[in-house]
Chains A and B, each alone.
Chain A
Amino acid sequence: METLIAQILNGLSLGSIYALIALGYTMVYGIIQLINFAHGEILMIGAYVGYFSVAVLGLNIYMALLLSMFVSSLVGVLIERIAYKPLRKSGRLSVLITAIGMSLLLQNGGLIVFGTDFVPFPQVIERIPYRLFGGRFVVTSHQILIFAVSILMMLLLQYIVGYTKIGMAMRAVSYDKEAASLMGINVDNVISFTFVIGSSLGAVAGVLLGLYYQTIHPLMGFMPGLKAFVAAVLGGIGVIPGAMLGGFLLGIIEALVSGYWSTTYKDPVVFVVLIVILIVKPTGLLGKNTSEKV
């Protein structure tokens, strides 16, 4: 029992990372129905900007986070404007392939620009392990931070999408782009804003990932990005609390598989879960069923 609780705690800490990344995926998907494959690479860029701000420019972590969010948003919006926007009218296949191309480009470009070494991320926030119940369970300051940030981000997103004017515009664009533009909404700007938010979330996730796992690397975004996408689908893609739920579930599943079976089966199990969910309830746990528009 003790071990089970310990493993669930391990899973929650991993899950909050997935949740944080999944929020960015779900945000973009919710508005323009595009799997932004490059989200993991936006995260990587965010992490490197954070690293340079701290290690080279000597900024504190909050300034580093802001700068990293700014640069990532810029990259995100640029990607959208250059690569995705011209394809808005083409089939989904083309956009998806472009997104994959973007992801490959940023990964390989990253390897050339940043090199292939793992870069130690400066530990600007002290890692303090808190031992609970006489050391039976351990929670670290970083885990609490990431958990708190992911919950906070989810609430913030819910608020923006649900209760602000721009959020209303986003929902309108999501529902029907043409009708939205007829109502006087600048669809381009709304989509760019979506990418700003998505990329900022990615940047936060990247910096926190660097802090938490102590290194950054040009390919650091790929696997977590993929897993986070699975999490988003699991919870119901496009549904903000779903990303959260999916992230936590995925983290716990991984921890339990590693703890009670074997780490090497963790990834296969994750993808099996994805496929089962897709077959049984393609809209995800919290998703609403919609019929296809013809």
Chain B
Amino acid sequence: MTKKQILVLSSTLFFVWFVVYMATDVWGLINSFQQVNIIWAGINVILAVSLNLVVGFTGQLALGHAGFMAVGAYTSAVLTMHFGIPYVLAILAGAVMAFFMGIVIGLPTLRLRGDYLAIATLGFGEIIRGVLVNIDYVGGAAGINGIAKITNWTWTYIFTIITVVLINNFIHSLHGKACITIRDDEVASELMGINTTYYKTLAFSMGAFFAGIAGGLYAHYFFMIQPATFALQKSFDALVMVVLGGLGSITGAVLAGLGVTFMNAALIELGAFRMVIYSVLLILVMMFRPQGLMGNKEFSARVFDRILPKRGGKDDV
């Protein structure tokens, strides 16, 4: 990146933050429902991008993402509530905790392939939830209530941007390339001397780290967390976003995170029918475009250059 590009990029990012901030806090243009959904959009983008690192880039179907979100949420909530740790530190601590859980869980299970890994990680997600239900210190099934409401647009935005940038950098680093190689052919990459266990665990626990951040943001916005919140359904939600966006496309994951949030809000009146729509979408995408809507074309800026002027011109008005 040139200096100029960095300048343009950061000013655009700042501009987005500023407009939404003003619209929310000063101009009062964004009502409370829209505010909730903006926070959701950030959390969903983080979940989608981080799970994409594991499923899309490294090719490991993990179904326990909600479990790591729970670890981040519970750790950060306990830290701010009972130990008076500042918000940012607490969220990072939650993420680090999720990271270590990722290593602990990843090391044994990532030796398994495909289907077995899916079931094992699904099992771990359930174990995390099952254990939380049994710990009275964190409220058991009733969960923790009365967490300080600190997460706001600014924090969500900062954490979302950091997540996207860091994962983007990781993908383009040598480590990221190793992960992609493993996805494309695990046996071959092993023969090439890539330490597959190391890279799979690295990607997995990094995914866990960011899921932990999402959990921390969640806990400090919705001020109450319960084990049931982080049930299998949440992991599936994240998977739906990754698949819709594109297995192996950060742009796709970001778009899907935003899109699913928007659809959830727009279709709120459909209630339970929303899940039917998502599952049909999931199946259709797999049948007609198994690599996801955006494909795994990570470097798809070119595609967007073509589409953007038209769409931007129309919607911008």
Contact = CB atoms under 8 A, between A and B. Distances in A.
A104 B114 contact: no
B293 to A, nearest CB: 14
Contact of B280 (A33, A105, A233): A105
Contacts of A258: none
B283 A83 contact: yes
A129 interface: no
Interface residues of B, number: 41
A104 B234 CA distance: 12
B187 A292 contact: yes
B160 to A, nearest CB: 25
Given A264-B133, A271-B126, A92 B115 contact: yes
Interface string B122-158: 1110110011011000000000000000000000000
Contacts of B131: 268
B85 to A, nearest CB: 28
Interface string A259-284: 00010110110011011001100100
Interface string B37-64: 0000000000000000001000101010
Q: Is the interface of B mostly helix, strand, loop or mixed?
A: helix
B130 A108 contact: no
Nearest to B128: A268
A191 to B, nearest CB: 17
A93 interface: yes
27 contacts: A33-B115, A35-B118, A86-B287, A90-B286, A90-B290, A93-B59, A94-B290, A96-B115, A97-B239, A101-B279, A104-B279, A105-B280, A105-B283, A108-B273, A108-B276, A111-B272, A226-B122, A262-B134, A265-B134, A267-B127, A268-B126, A271-B126, A271-B130, A272-B127, A274-B123, A275-B123, A279-B111
A98 B283 contact: yes
B278 interface: yes
A109 B276 contact: yes
B23 interface: no
Rank and list the top 9 A-B pairs by shortest CB-CB distance, nearest first.
Answer: A271-B123, A101-B282, A105-B279, A104-B279, A268-B130, A108-B275, A94-B290, A101-B283, A98-B286
A86 B284 CA distance: 11
Contacts of A230: 119, 123
Contact of B279 (A33, A108, A262): A108
Given A105-B283, A112-B272, A274 B120 contact: yes
Contacts of B86: none
B282 A100 contact: yes
B130 A97 contact: no
A267 B126 CA distance: 8
B18 interface: no
Given A108-B275, A264-B130, A274-B119, 6 more contacts: A87-B286, A93-B114, A104-B236, A105-B280, A275-B109, A278-B109
A93 B57 CA distance: 12
A54 B109 CA distance: 45
Interface string A68-89: 0000000000000001001100
Given A96-B61, A97-B239, A278-B109, A35 B119 contact: yes
B198 interface: no
B114 A100 contact: no
B112 interface: yes
Given A267-B130, A271-B126, A294-B187, A229 B119 contact: yes
A91 interface: yes
A275 B120 contact: yes
A21 to B, nearest CB: 15
Nearest to A268: B130
Contacts of B275: 104, 108
A230 B287 CA distance: 28
